[in-house]
Amino acid sequence: MRPVPPELLPAFKPNWLAASALTERLRFVDATALMHLSRGLTFDPLRSAEVLDDALCALDEKTFKP
């Protein structure tokens, strides 16, 4: 069985309410803006926003100098 080409995969359906709620919990990433930027792509932008925000928070903690 051959994999389906990416251009034939269904695009992610945006959940604007979930994006708005997620944005309130994130420090560095605006999930709603990320949803706009990723329209038509096949990955989950809300999960990507969480991963990116976690990475940025860890970087901020590691490099923070009082």
The whole-number pLDDT of residue 56 equals 94
The whole-number pLDDT of residue 39 equals 77
In a domain, 6, yes or no: no
| Tokens, residue 34 | 């990320």
- pTM higher than 0.85 for the full model? no
The angle that helices 16-25 and 45-63 make with each other, rounded to 10 degrees, is 10
**pLDDT tier, 4 (very low <50, low <70, confident <90, very high otherwise):** low
In a domain, 5, yes or no: no
| Residue numbers of the domain that contains 50 | 12-63
More confident of the two residues 9 and 58: 58
Is the Cβ–Cβ distance between 64 and 41 less than 8 Å? no
In a domain, 7, yes or no: no
Predicted confidence (pLDDT) at residue 66 exceeds the cutoff of 80: no
In a domain, 32, yes or no: yes
In a domain, 3, yes or no: no
In the chain, alpha helices (H): 16-25, 31-37, 45-63
How many domains does the chain contain in total?
1
Condensed to tens digits (0 to 9), the pLDDT of residues 16-59 reads 888 899 999 999 999 999 888 887 777 788 888 999 999 999 99
